[in-house]
């Protein structure tokens, strides 16, 4: 019971950071997503505390392990656009596949290449 | 109590939302079981495996998708706090992330540019409509940002949202295969590239592989969202 209360508190903290981030973005009309600001708020808190409280670690890791769950409604939402997609179906299919593959290859290569270059020069790791 | 003027809680709607959340939970559980039976294969993507039967159910029973989204909206809201949890692995891997600032910056610029340009050029070359191309451009960033960008450059926000989801699933399903084929073995590079190309759904997959990949993917997702939101509308106006 006690541990459940602590986990609930940890979740409330995550939600509070998210809401604070969204409010900040809305209030200052920042061009970044509120949740990203929420991440930074929590990160700043952790840096100040110099440790991650166990219930927070447990809750965050649980949610991240099941992040897919929260994307299911968005997956279902795609259905509404099946009709709109019919016109441009092939360009869309090819563009989405090819472009996603190209972006992954380019970003992965760029990262690995630069990381190796830095490592050889002794600047990295 | 029929004389109560204002009804504060619509219990039937709460029940309906709760019902659809349970349905989602059931199919998610089933999807995870299938994925586990296939040794955690990325081909068995939980978002795809769970949303497909729900779509089938709604279609088969002739239920409006908006009814489902009574519950869906609650889960979409919960995505915020769940994503904020990224701060925890980010804090734990802070020195690793800080040591890779330069590879991350270069990878971000290259990956972000390739993601936008290749989608636009392929769409254009294959004769897609202008609105479709404009909705394709921000496909690699998280949904709310992509919708904002599509709106700013004259695409359809809701169509852009659908492209974002499909892109995320493509990245999550085929990412490992692509990285292996092209010799991209550094877990930081794999994670970061996943986050740049396939945002949150890619990040969800990266966390299934390992914490370092997941962390770099989350950082990439956040950075790419910011960079694309700031630069894409400006570039678009400059070149069109």
pLDDT in tens, B170-218: 999 999 999 999 999 999 999 999 999 999 999 999 999 999 999 999 9
pLDDT of res. A82: 65
Best B31, B83, B85 member to test A by mutation, with max A CBs in 10 Å, is B85
CA distance B11 to chain A (A): 21
| Interchain contact, B91 vs A73, CB within 8 Å | no
Average pLDDT over residues B30-59: 93
Structure tokens at B157: 């926000």
Best B21, B61, B68, B88 member to test A by mutation, with max A CBs in 10 Å, is B88
| Interchain contact, A76 vs B55, CB within 8 Å | yes
- Is A26 exposed, middle or buried, given 0-12, 13-18 or 19+ CB atoms closer than 10 A? exposed
Q: Where are the domains of chain A?
A: 1-65, 73-125
Among the partner-chain residues A15, A61, A103, the one whose CB lies closest to the CB of B115 is A103
pLDDT of res. B88: 95
Distance, in Å, from the CA atom of B37 to the CA atom of B43, rounded to the nearest integer, reads 12
| Interchain contact, B75 vs A109, CB within 8 Å | no
- Residue A105 contacts B, CB cutoff 8 Å: yes
Q: Where are the domains of chain B?
A: 11-84, 87-239
Alpha-carbon torsion (B68, B73, B74, B76), positive or negative: positive
| Interchain contact, B225 vs A68, CB within 8 Å | no
- Residue A99 contacts B, CB cutoff 8 Å: yes
Least confident of A41-45, B75-79, B114-118: B75-79
């Amino acid at each position: 019971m006690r541990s459940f209360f602590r986990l609930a508190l940890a979740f409330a903290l995550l939600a509070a950071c998210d809401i604070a981030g969204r409010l900040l973005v809305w209030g200052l009309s920042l061009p970044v997503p509120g949740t990203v600001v929420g991440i930074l708020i929590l990160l700043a808190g952790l840096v100040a505390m110099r440790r991650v409280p166990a219930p927070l670690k447990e809750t965050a890791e649980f949610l991240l392990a099941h992040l897919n769950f929260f994307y299911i409604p968005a997956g279902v939402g795609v259905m509404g656009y099946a009709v709109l997609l019919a016109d441009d179906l092939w360009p869309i299919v090819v563009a989405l596949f090819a472009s996603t593959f190209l972006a992954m290859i380019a970003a992965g290569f760029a990262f690995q290449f630069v990381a190796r270059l830095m490592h050889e020069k002794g600047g990295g790791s | 109590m029929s004389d109560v003027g204002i009804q504060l809680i619509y219990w039937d709607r709460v029940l309906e939302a709760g019902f659809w959340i349970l349905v989602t939970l059931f199919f998610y559980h089933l999807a995870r079981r299938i994925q586990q039976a296939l040794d955690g294969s990325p081909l068995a993507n939980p978002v795809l495996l769970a949303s497909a039967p729900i779509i089938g159910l709604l279609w088969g029973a002739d239920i409006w998708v908006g009814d489902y989204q009574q519950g869906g909206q609650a889960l979409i809201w919960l995505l915020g706090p769940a994503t904020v949890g990224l701060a925890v692995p980010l804090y734990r891997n802070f020195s690793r992330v800080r040591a890779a600032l330069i590879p991350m910056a270069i990878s971000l610029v290259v990956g972000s540019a390739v993601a936008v340009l290749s989608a636009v050029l392929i769409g254009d070359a294959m004769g897609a409509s202008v609105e479709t191309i404009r909705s394709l451009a921000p496909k690699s960033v998280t949904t709310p940002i992509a919708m904002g960008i599509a709106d700013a450059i004259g695409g359809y926000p809701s169509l852009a949202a659908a492209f974002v989801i499909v892109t995320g699933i493509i990245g999550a399903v085929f990412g490992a295969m692509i990285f292996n084929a092209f010799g991209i073995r550094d877990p930081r590079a794999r994670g970061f590239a996943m986050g740049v190309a396939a945002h949150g759904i890619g990040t969800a997959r990266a966390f299934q592989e390992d914490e370092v990949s997941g962390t770099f993917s989350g950082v990439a997702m956040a950075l790419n969202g910011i960079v694309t939101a700031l630069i894409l509308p400006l570039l678009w106006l400059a070149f069109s």
